[in-house]
Amino acid sequence: MTEQSGNDSAPETTPAATPEGWYPDPSGDHELRWWDGAQWTENVSDHGKTSTAPITNPTVPVVNKPAEKIQHQVRDQAGLRDAAAAGGGTIFTEPVLVINQKVKLIELNNEYAVYDADGNQIAAVRQVGQSKLKKAARLLTSLDQFMTHSLQIVDMNGAVLMTVTRPRKVLKSKVEIGDAQGRPIGRVVQKNAIGKIRFDLEANGQVIGSLNAENWRAWNFSIRDASGEEVARITKTWEGLAKTLFTTADNYVLQISKPIEQPLLSLVVASALSVDTALKQDARGLG
């Protein structure tokens, strides 16, 4: 085992090509866990201190929401009355994705369920790498907004589909998107902190699209390709006064309006699943 590298990417559970190194613990029990190039080991690290702990099976966040409520979000709240199950059942093939955050009175880990337009959960987003110190900071202070956040987008079997890392920030967020092995796909880079928030979608050192807030509170976004043509939209849906006042849960609908090629497709999907984390702690942001 070598020195801790601080690598925030996360491999799949069985990738042959993933190099050995420290990665966010897939079980979420510890901040980092050592991958030996072939499998997870018992070596873990929390706040720079190493120890050993058995690997446990990571859970897939589930939000037990009736299908009719998901359909209400899509057809009535997001206005997509003609939406139907026309995709292939994955986050990369469905034209409509519904992202619902798990309701918690006190939120120490971000967790989201991802549904198709008919209300079938097809994926989830889980936060990894949360040390006890980070959880304490989140519970007791507002310092959490400045810390690094690492997410895994997983299918219903828990297999990693993409990784999302938001490094430490001061005023503006930058979100780094990786594939299942943690290899870079691109970045979502916040361009301004005043006015209507805009993000550039970057891949291979070039801007290939943008994420554009349609109001100053950054509730709804138009997603455009490099030519400025809208290819998708993110709409925040209203969950009622009680949830808004007493919980941290946020819910969104992503509509992809035309075919999108890679890597823009992955950045569009990852943007919808991570924009809440990117802006959550912003004083006028999404919460």
Taking the domains of the chain in order of start, what are their residue ranges? 1-58, 67-279
According to DSSP, residue 143 is labeled: G
Fold of 67-279: Tubby Protein; Chain A (3.20.90)
User: How far apart, in whole angstroms, are the C-alpha atoms of residue 282 and residue 153?
Assistant: 23
Cβ atoms of residues 67 and 121 within 8 Å: no
CA distance 28 to 32: 9
> What is the structure's pLDDT at 111?
85
Q: Is the pLDDT of residue 219 over 70?
A: yes
**59 has a pLDDT exceeding 70:** yes
Going by the DSSP 8-state scheme, the letter that residue 61 receives in this structure is: P
Higher per-residue pLDDT: 242 or 166: 166
* DSSP 3-state of 241: helix
Instruction: Give 98's contacts (C-beta < 8 A, 6+ positions apart).
Output: 70, 73, 74, 114, 115, 116, 117, 119, 251, 252, 253, 254
Run of H or E residues at 269: helix 264-279
Of 61-65, 118-122, 199-203, 260-264, minimum mean pLDDT range:
61-65
286: confidence class by pLDDT, cuts 50, 70, 90: very low
β-pairing, 230-236 vs 21-24, is unpaired
Of 23-27, 96-100, 135-139, 233-237, minimum mean pLDDT range: 135-139
Task: Please give the sequence-ordered ranges of beta strands (E in DSSP) within the chain, or none if there are none.
Answer: 21-24, 32-35, 40-46, 49-52, 96-101, 111-115, 121-128, 149-155, 160-166, 174-178, 184-190, 198-203, 206-213, 221-225, 230-236, 251-256
d(Cα 148, Cα 168) in Å, to the nearest integer? 5
- CA neighbours within 13 Å on the CB side: how many for 279? 29
Question: Using one digit for the tens of pLDDT, what is the confidence trace for 250-284?
Answer: 789 999 999 999 999 999 999 888 777 666 544 43
**pLDDT attached to residue 249:** 52
Mean pLDDT (whole number) for 84-92: 81
Can you read off the two tokens belonging to residue 228?
Answer: 């400025």
SS3 content of the chain, % helix, strand, coil (to 5): 15, 35, 50
- C-alpha distances in Å from residue 260, one per residue of 86, 145, 162, 224, 256: 16, 32, 17, 11, 8
Cβ count within 10 A of residue 257? 12
Cross-strand pairs, 224 = 210, 230
Mean pLDDT within 110-115: 89
**How would you class 207 by CB atoms within 10 Å of its CB: exposed for 0-12, middle for 13-18, buried for 19 or more?**
middle
* Res 131 pLDDT > 80: no
Q: Are 103 and 61 in contact (CB under 8 A)?
A: no
Task: Give every CB contact of residue 2 below 8 A, 6+ residues apart in sequence.
Answer: 20, 21
